[in-house]
Amino acid sequence: MTYFSRLTDIVTCNLTKLLDEADDPAAALQEIIAEMEAGMAGARRSTQTAQANEGRIRDEVKEHSGQVAHWANRAKEQLVAGSDDQARLALVRKREVEHLIAGLEQQLQAAVQTREHLATTFRALEARLAEARRRQQRGQDGDESASDAGGAEPNSVTSSEIDDELAALKRELGQE
């Protein structure tokens, strides 16, 4: 049985409900985890592709920005040489590159938003997968009543982030 048709289904799923409806919750959980892992692999690839696209567009903007300076200098050189027509052509080229950069910057903004969205979705998928693995571990340990607070954090959560947040909570509670 396929539980998820989209990555958003994983993020928005109610594991408890899915498992309550299953004939064999342990087998269902194993299948759910396998589907989540496959979804994670696809999300990882998509995130990496989006990151590469963002980098490529950034590089292209940088390259074309250098061309703007080149054409501006070329126009000055042509004016000094007394060639108004050639200076005018250089300025036309400069303007064309500026318009190209403006279009690329819009694409860059879209690429950044796409990468950020995919990264956020990836972290949410990691959290759901971690939750499913904790449930599976509790089932294997025979401790169905264990708290969800136990277990490992999702891979995207660094221990320094957790330590920083813990220190902030302690300060808030006056414990430091």
Residue that wins the pLDDT comparison between 175 and 64: 64
Domains of the chain by residue range: 7-172
DSSP string, 65-97: HHHHHHHHHHHHHHHHTT-HHHHHHHHHHHHHH
Q: Which two tokens stand for residue 166?
A: 């813990």
Band (pLDDT 50/70/90 cuts) for residue 156 is: low
pLDDT digits (tens, 9 = 90+) for 72-87: 999 999 999 999 999 9
Full-prediction pTM beyond 0.85? no
Question: Count of CB atoms within 10 A of residue 34's CB?
Answer: 11
Confidence of residue 151 (pLDDT cuts 50, 70, 90): very low
